Amino acid sequence: MLLYVDARFASPYAMSVFVALHAKKLAFDVETVDLAAGANQEPEFAAASITRRVPTWVHDGFALSESSAICEYIDETFPGTPLYPADPRRKARARQLQAWLRSDLMAIREERPTFVIFYGAKKPPLSAAARAAADNLFAAAEVLLQRRSENLFGDWSIADVDLALMLNRLILHGDAVPERLVEYANAQWRRPAVQLWVESKRPPL
């Protein structure tokens, strides 16, 4: 198994797959792709990835990109810790959350890029648009965590990693976040597989 990730280990989507593979206790190699140098456009990688994006994962000659597709494939193919809830409605809710985090909240992603998390970058105060996006994020997270569980759906799921990372764009920058959500994100961040990614050796910016 081979996982292609960005050279700076800053992609939240590569992190999601990295954690998923560790959760399943699967052995895999990691190869970095220098996106800034356009390495994702090189013919060999482009042919395998199709979308020319990281993460791209290769298993037994089958290459797949897009993190949520990879995580679902891993969960359906390999035994071990489930990555998604078994209950169809909870699984659908987890996938709903993942899709939303990947397609919305653009103001947060632009003003609090993952360099804030993995490099300690400092940015200006949030714009009105980013504050509004943050309020939407907090409201959704509080609804999903209303049972005050450590995880979103009882047992841990890969959606917990995705939500914690989005929250940590704000928390680790020092922006105001409700204490309940800080506690949740901190608990998810302490997971050993998450810490393996966080502690990856990164080139300087």
Question: What is the CATH classification number for the domain harbouring 152?
Answer: 1.20.1050.10
pLDDT reported for residue 45: 93
Domain boundary among 59, 81, 103: 81
The span from the CA of 193 to the CA of 98, in Å, is 19
Residue 66 and residue 27 in one domain: yes
Domain boundary among 31, 62, 81: 81
Question: What is the CATH classification number for the domain harbouring 49?
Answer: 3.40.30.10
pLDDT reported for residue 146: 80
pLDDT in tens, 114-136: 999 999 999 999 999 999 999 99
**Residue span of the structural domain in which 42 resides:** 2-81
Q: Which two tokens stand for residue 95?
A: 């996938």
State which residues of the chain have pLDDT below 70.
148
The span from the CA of 52 to the CA of 138, in Å, is 32
Q: Which two tokens stand for residue 29?
A: 């190699």
Structural domains in the chain (count) = 2
Residue 74 and residue 119 in one domain: no
What is the secondary structure of 93-158 as a DSSP string?
HHHHHHHHHHHS-HHHHHHS-THHHHS----PPPPHHHHHHHHHHHHHHHHHTTT--SSTBSB--H
Query: Are 163 and 138 contacting, i.e. CB atoms less than 8 angstroms apart?
Result: no
